[in-house]
């Protein structure tokens, strides 16, 4: 039973355009969400996070949107750059009182074409 | 500040053997988690340790085990290796577990190949 789903295995975007990566979750106990970026042969690198008390968090070119009623979040990258080409993982965490671990989606491979 | 260090980076083992992987977390981080990454499966949670105690465990068979030492360094062990255990094993550390939402910082992983 996959609690965090990234339904698009891959995405191609032209340089300079917006990249939108989507993530859905099923567990209503999740209240903290993160995006990680992973290059081949490296560990995932933290990108941006959002708490369930917010619906938007922005950091430079990266913005994460959270729609709790739809159990959906998205990562927007604008403008997209060739160096953004990587696999992006969405992750979710339950309320800390339960000491729950991060649960990851299967990832979306983003290719930014120059 | 040094990052999360995993050793070895690459490992080739034969079916039936056992293997031990090591992870040194970021200094001051007391929580260490282990994940398995296989093609198309994302990162699957193995277990989490905090202050030498296993706090959470994923859905993996008992052949997968781990431990954490008093200096927060962690090891994971896989016994009776199977071909399907070939994967990238990632270790992540975070400052604490419980009470505060924080991101986890990952090492570069150990690529295990079982032949």
Please give the average per-residue pLDDT across A3-24, as a whole number. Answer: 96
Summarize pLDDT for A58-104 with one digit per residue, the tens.
Answer: 999 999 999 999 999 999 999 999 999 999 999 998 865 556 788 99
pLDDT surpasses 80 at B47: yes
Q: How many CB pairs under 8 A join A and B?
A: 66
* Residue A108, token pair as written in the block: 């979306």
For residues B100 and B114, what is the distance between their CA atoms, to the nearest angstrom?
Answer: 38
Q: Cα dihedral sign for A43, A2, B93, B79?
A: negative
CA separation for the pair A64, A109 (Å, rounded): 17
Question: Alpha carbon of A80 to those of A18, A48, A114: distances in Å?
Answer: 6, 16, 10
Cβ A91 vs Cβ A101: under 8 Å: no
Given an 8 Å threshold on Cβ–Cβ distance, is B42 in contact with A107?
Answer: yes
Higher pLDDT, A108 or B40: A108
Please, how many CA atoms are within 13 Å of residue B3, restricted to the half-sphere of its CB? 15
Phi-psi region of B28 (alpha: psi -120 to 50; beta: other; left: phi over 0): left
Cβ(A30)–Cβ(A94) below 8 Å: yes
* Residue from A30, A31, A44, A108 to probe the interface with B (highest B Cβ count within 10 Å): A44
């Amino acid at each position: 039973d996959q609690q965090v789903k990234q339904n698009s295995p891959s995405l191609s975007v032209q340089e300079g355009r917006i990249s939108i990566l989507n993530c859905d979750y099923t567990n209503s106990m999740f209240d903290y969400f993160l995006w990680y970026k992973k290059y081949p042969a490296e560990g995932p690198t933290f990108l941006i996070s959002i708490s369930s008390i917010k619906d938007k968090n922005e950091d430079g070119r990266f913005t994460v949107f959270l729609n709790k009623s739809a159990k959906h979040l998205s990562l927007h990258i604008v403008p997209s750059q060739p160096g953004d080409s990587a696999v992006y993982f969405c992750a979710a965490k339950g309320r800390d009182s339960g000491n729950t671990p991060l649960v990851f989606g299967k990832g979306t491979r983003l290719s930014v074409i120059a | 500040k040094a990052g999360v260090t995993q050793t070895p980076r690459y490992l080739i083992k034969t079916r039936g053997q056992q293997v031990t992987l090591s992870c040194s977390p970021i200094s001051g981080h007391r929580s260490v988690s282990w994940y398995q990454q296989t093609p198309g499966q994302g990162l699957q949670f193995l277990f989490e340790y905090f202050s030498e105690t296993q706090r959470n465990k994923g859905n993996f068979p008992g052949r997968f085990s781990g431990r954490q030492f008093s200096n927060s360094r962690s090891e994971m062990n896989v016994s009776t290796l199977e071909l399907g255990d070939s994967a990238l094993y990632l270790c992540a550390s975070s400052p604490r577990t419980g009470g505060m939402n924080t991101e986890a910082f990952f090492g570069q992983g150990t690529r295990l190949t079982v032949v």
